[in-house]
């Protein structure tokens, strides 16, 4: 025998191969099981079987019938089995086929993530593609996101997983003329796509090592404390040259600004910069500032301008006199509350059914800890100002969906804070925007799982003849 024995532990080639195959099988199984769980969950979510609390079983308009007129702006045609099979083998390159295949799977799991007017067109972003419409709802194009490769390690063993990186997907402005898309998570880092859904920049990607699962808690905690994973990101034009910069917040690194070429422009060191980032031109000088919500406002060169006390979802608009203003809004304790930068309340109005009792409490456990949830509340609230009547103060529209329950509240408030419309949708809707009507007024668009609805001023809101 020529096999050499080394001092201490040794692993034969045969053992390595067996373990490698075993790990591949585990990873493949986990991926398929995960997809199956998502698919099964989506089926249950669609009919709400055993999941929808009695208090929100009823859907439709609960307040303000006639305030808004609802129509369908766009509805995604669901692909059948044969359509799916044909769809994964279209004309084009292998990369094109992978894009389409990924999108067809995502159609059955995810919904629309974001809606935004860009260049006179309405853009809808989702994990199943980019949709571009004219203002009337005619679909002009659909693009599929580029596939990226994600490395996964298990000790000495390494493999690559191919999929688009689309977590926390948002529509962003890459330049004055072009829009794009931003996605981020703690493993894949930050990915920026152009308007054709091609990757133009990636940063801070990590290679997860499954070997950490076999280490003790102390070692896992140490690795987490030392990690530099992405916590938040944003895109905006910081210097007013018409080309946007990239903002990335990373653990143990801080807030960094990058040029469109990926060059580091400045760094504000911070151990755990987890605050939501919001990029906007606060002083209307053509150069955007960066707000770490609840913490501070930073100018385009990385200098701290002032402290920001308020937290919540930022909402830029106009007051009753047409003056530019920013509010920070959130739904808590059955109310929609908005505050200005100083923390003073500007808006406090009812948000009925934003928190409901569960018919059966949910029980959770983690290690030695266990807890029970007897209520559930809306998450991922989205808000927009909308001009439903020409020449008059704007209205505030809000959507908020429940996690794991196919229900969404749509609220409409007048500028005085009065709730004038409330509808419960039998869907999970997490995207909202406005679209111009061409007469000085706007309509509201709400993106659900496969449908985009349009809400215009109804008979009760129309201008007097």
Span 394-452, pLDDT tens digits:
999 999 999 889 999 999 999 889 999 999 999 999 999 999 999 999 999 999 999 99
pLDDT, position 49 = 38
Instruction: Identify the domain boundary among 268, 291, 311.
Output: 311
pLDDT, position 215 = 79
Asked if the structure places residue 402 within a domain, the reply is: no
pLDDT in tens, 205-240: 988 877 777 778 788 788 888 899 999 999 999 999
Asked if the structure places residue 344 within a domain, the reply is: no
pLDDT, position 396 = 96
Same domain, 149 and 284: yes
Q: CA-CA distances (angstroms) from residue 393 to 283, 366, 367, 387, 442?
A: 22, 49, 53, 7, 12
Counting the structural domains of the chain, the total is 2
Give the whole-angstrom CA distance, residue 428 versus residue 328: 23
Same domain, 172 and 293: yes
First to last CA, the chain: 100
- CA 173, chain centre distance (Å): 16
Whether residue 42 is predicted with pLDDT greater than 50 in this model: the reply is no
Asked if the structure places residue 259 within a domain, the reply is: yes
pLDDT, position 221 = 81
Q: What mean pLDDT do residues 91-101 have?
A: 84
pLDDT tier for residue 91 given thresholds of 50, 70 and 90: low
Helix (H) or strand (E) segment spanning residue 222? helix 217-226
Same domain, 178 and 38: no
The two tokens of residue 449 are 């799982």
- Mean pLDDT over each residue of the chain, to the nearest integer: 85
Residues 139, 195: contact at Cβ < 8 Å? Answer: no
Cβ neighbours of residue 48 closer than 8 Å, sequence gap 6 or more:
57, 405, 406, 407, 426
pTM (2 d.p.): 0.85
Asked if the structure places residue 266 within a domain, the reply is: yes
Give, in degrees to the nearest 5, the angle at Cα 305 between 300 and 308.
115
pLDDT, position 274 = 92
Instruction: Identify the domain boundary among 277, 311, 345.
Output: 311
Q: Name the range with the highest mean pLDDT among 18-22, 134-138, 246-250, 318-322.
A: 246-250
Residues 123, 180: contact at Cβ < 8 Å? Answer: no
Whether residue 122 is predicted with pLDDT greater than 50 in this model: the reply is yes
pLDDT in tens, 283-337: 888 899 999 999 999 999 999 999 988 889 999 877 666 677 889 999 999 999 9
Same domain, 29 and 173: no
pLDDT in tens, 251-293: 999 999 999 999 999 999 999 999 999 999 988 888 999 999 9
pLDDT, position 149 = 85
pLDDT in tens, 322-381: 677 889 999 999 999 999 887 888 889 999 999 999 998 888 776 677 888 899 999 889
The two tokens of residue 72 are 């369908």
Instruction: Identify the domain boundary among 311, 339, 362.
Output: 311
Q: What are phi and psi of 59, to 5 degrees?
A: -115, 170
Whether residue 65 is predicted with pLDDT greater than 70 in this model: the reply is yes
* Domain that includes residue 255, residue range: 145-311
Same domain, 38 and 182: no
Asked if the structure places residue 179 within a domain, the reply is: yes
Give the whole-angstrom CA distance, residue 407 versus residue 400: 9
Whether residue 79 is predicted with pLDDT greater than 50 in this model: the reply is yes
Give the whole-angstrom CA distance, residue 332 versus residue 301: 35
Same domain, 180 and 32: no
Asked if the structure places residue 57 within a domain, the reply is: no
Asked if the structure places residue 358 within a domain, the reply is: no
pLDDT, position 27 = 46
Asked if the structure places residue 321 within a domain, the reply is: no
pLDDT tier for residue 28 given thresholds of 50, 70 and 90: very low
pLDDT, position 321 = 63
């Amino acid at each position: 025998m020529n096999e050499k024995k080394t001092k201490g532990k040794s692993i034969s080639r045969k053992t390595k191969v067996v373990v490698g195959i075993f790990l591949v099988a585990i990873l493949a199984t986990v991926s398929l099981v995960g997809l199956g769980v998502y698919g099964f969950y989506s089926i249950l979510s669609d009919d709400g079987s055993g999941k929808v609390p009695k208090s929100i079983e009823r859907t439709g308009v609960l307040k303000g019938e006639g305030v808004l007129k609802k129509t369908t702006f766009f509805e995604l045609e669901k692909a059948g089995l044969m359509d799916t099979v044909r769809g994964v083998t279209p004309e084009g390159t292998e990369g094109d086929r992978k894009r389409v295949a990924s999108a067809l799977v995502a159609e059955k799991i995810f919904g629309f993530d974001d809606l935004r007017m860009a260049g006179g067109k309405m853009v809808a972003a989702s994990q199943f593609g980019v949709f571009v419409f004219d203002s009337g709802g005619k679909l002009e194009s659909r693009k599929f996101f580029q596939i990226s490769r994600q490395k996964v390690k298990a000790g000495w063993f390494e493999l690559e997983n191919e999929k688009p990186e689309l977590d926390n997907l948002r529509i962003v402005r890459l330049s004055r003329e072009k829009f794009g898309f931003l996605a981020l998570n703690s493993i894949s880092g930050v990915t920026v796509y152009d308007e054709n859904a091609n990757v133009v920049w990636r940063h801070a990607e990590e290679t997860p090592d499954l070997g950490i699962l076999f280490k003790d808690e102390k070692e896992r905690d140490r690795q987490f404390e030392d990690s530099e994973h992405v916590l938040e990101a944003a895109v905006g034009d910081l210097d007013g040259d018409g080309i946007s910069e990239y903002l990335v917040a990373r653990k143990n690194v801080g807030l960094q600004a990058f040029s469109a070429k990926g060059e580091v422009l400045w760094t504000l060191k911070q151990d755990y910069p987890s605050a939501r980032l919001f990029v906007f031109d606060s002083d209307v000088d053509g150069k955007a500032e960066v707000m770490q919500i609840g913490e501070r406002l930073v100018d385009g060169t990385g200098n701290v301008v002032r402290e920001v006390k308020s937290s919540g979802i930022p909402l830029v608009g106009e007051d009753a006199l047409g003056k530019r203003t920013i509010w920070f809004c959130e739904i808590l304790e059955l109310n929609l509350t908005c505050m200005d930068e100083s923390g003073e309340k500007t808006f406090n109005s009812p948000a009925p059914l934003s928190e409901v009792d569960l018919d059966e409490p949910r029980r959770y456990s983690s290690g030695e800890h266990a807890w029970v949830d007897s209520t559930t509340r809306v998450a991922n609230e989205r808000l927009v100002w909308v001009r439903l009547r020409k020449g008059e103060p704007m209205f505030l529209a809000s959507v908020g969906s429940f996690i794991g329950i196919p229900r969404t509240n749509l609220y409409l408030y007048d500028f005085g804070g009065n709730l004038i419309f409330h509808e419960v949708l039998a869907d999970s809707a997490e995207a909202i925007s406005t679209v111009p009507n061409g007469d000085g007024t706007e309509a509201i668009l709400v993106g659900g799982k496969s449908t985009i609805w349009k809400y215009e001023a109804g008979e009760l809101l129309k201008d007097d003849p």
